[in-house]
């Protein structure tokens, strides 16, 4: 007795979603593992690990942390992703491995954007506050973050208008723009 057509179709869809989602989730977990490893190597306590819709977040105790150490922890996630890309370069490359490499590259570069809530924003903030008076650093960080959030939104909107398809980058850019506007 064969399976009903709807079951075969559902199985195909589930298989396709898993084939795409698993390498992307692995890239996100590698990113967070980079942050966790940096925390552990610097003796910074990890408070929590929370899965989110577009990845995960590791919370750590930043009290008493120097700006330089905070920047190192922020940079460790994208660095782990870049190591993931390097691991995908040699040898034969299947679809899952290629997707993992692309997801790692995209996640690294996206997170390095100097926008609040992203690793690049944390790095920018740490550098500015270490070298400038606090009020100047705060204004500069807010301005740079806002400019890049607007540029990301404009790029995402242009891609959406030109190509259509997936709305995720546009929605993510709206979320980041709203956070930057709210001062978060």
Q: Which of 37, 41, 38, 45 is nearest to 63 (CA)?
A: 45
Q: What pTM value is reported for the model?
A: 0.82
Structure tokens at 68: 């330089």
Q: How far is CA 177 from CA 74, 128, 137, 149, in A?
A: 20, 21, 20, 5
Flag whether pLDDT at 51 surpasses 50: yes
Q: Which of 32, 78, 79, 92 is nearest to 59 (CA)?
A: 32
Q: How far is CA 106 from CA 82, 103, 122, 131, in A?
A: 10, 5, 18, 30
Q: What is the pLDDT of residues 87-119, one digit of tens each?
A: 887 666 677 788 899 999 999 999 999 998 899
Q: Report whether 111 contacts 120 (CB < 8 A).
A: yes
Q: What is the mean pLDDT of the chain?
A: 86
Flag whether pLDDT at 12 surpasses 70: no
Place of tokens 């942050």: 35
């Amino acid at each position: 007795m064969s399976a009903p057509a709807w079951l075969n179709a559902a199985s195909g869809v589930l298989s396709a979603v898993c084939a795409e989602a698993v390498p992307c989730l692995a890239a996100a977990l590698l990113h967070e593992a980079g942050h966790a490893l940096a925390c552990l190597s610097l003796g910074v306590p990890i408070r929590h690990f929370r899965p989110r819709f577009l990845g995960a977040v590791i919370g750590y105790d930043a009290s008493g942390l120097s700006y330089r150490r905070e920047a190192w922890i922020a940079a460790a996630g994208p660095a782990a992703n870049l190591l993931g890309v390097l691991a995908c370069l040699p040898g034969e490359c299947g679809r899952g491995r290629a997707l993992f490499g692309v997801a790692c590259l995209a996640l690294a570069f996206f997170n390095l954007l100097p926008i609040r809530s992203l690793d690049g924003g944390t790095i920018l903030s740490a550098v500015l506050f270490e070298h400038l008076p606090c009020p100047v650093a705060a204004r500069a960080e807010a301005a740079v973050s806002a400019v890049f959030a607007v540029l990301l939104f404009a790029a995402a909107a242009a891609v959406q208008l030109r190509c259509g398809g997936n709305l995720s980058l546009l929605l993510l850019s709206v979320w980041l723009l709203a956070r930057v506007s709210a001062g978060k």
